[in-house]
Amino acid sequence: MTVKLVEGIYRDVLIGPDGEPIFDSGWQSNMIVLSCRVLLGGFMKNEATAKGIQSLHVGQGDAAWDKLAQAPKPDPNTTTQLTDAPGFSVPKIKLEYLDAKDAVTITQTNRIQITATLEAGQPPGPNPFPLREFGLFGQMNGVDFMIDYVRHPLIEKDSLMTLERKVRLVF
C-alpha cells in the first residue's frame, strides 16, 4: 500500500541580466523521498532536535543524463543525497504558507512554498554552471535528511543570470 503523506511540485525561472525571463520550466512534479517521512516521524515523536526545511542544494548531476530522453529515475526509498553530493547550498531561501488557492498567507496551513534564489555569481564554479538536480533538506540530531529530490533537464546558468526555484509541498 502506498500512502501519500506529502506531495510536491517545483518551477524554475531563469532570469537574464536585464531582468527578463529566459526560461520557465512550468510546474513539474518532484519526488518526496523516504527520509522526509523519517524526519516527519521524528518531529511527530517530539524529537527535540528535529528541524524542518533548512536548505536547498543544487548540483551538476551526471552529464550522461543529457544524452537520454529523461534522466534515470532515482529510488525514493534509497535516495538520501544529490548525485553531485553535497552540491551547492543555496544561501537565500524563503518559506511561506499558501492557502488553498496558492496565495501566500501568514496563517499556518498544510501547504508550504519554498523560494530559493541563485543570484548572479552563484554557484561558484564553471561558467555557465550546469544544473541537473536539486534537493530540499531538513535536520534531525544534527544529520541532514533529504526531503525531496529532482533530476531535471540541463539548465546552464551563466554567472550574470538569476535562477528562481519555487517548490510547493502539500502535507
Each residue's pLDDT tens digit, 124-159:
989 999 999 999 999 988 899 999 999 999 999 999
In this prediction, residue 90 carries a pLDDT of 96
* 84: in domain: yes
Q: How far apart are CA 148 and CA 27, in angstroms?
A: 15
Q: How far apart are CA 17 and CA 159, in angstroms?
A: 9
Domain count, the chain: 1
DSSP state of 103: -
In this prediction, residue 133 carries a pLDDT of 97
Q: Average pLDDT in the 107-134 region? A: 95
* 161: in domain: no
* 164: in domain: no
* 119: in domain: yes
The pTM score is 0.91
Residue entry with cell 533529504: 146
* 160: in domain: no
* 64: in domain: yes
* 73: in domain: yes
* 165: in domain: no
| Confidence band of 50 (pLDDT split at 50, 70, 90) | confident
63's CB contacts (< 8 A; 6+ apart) are: 130, 132
**Domain with 54 in it:** 7-153
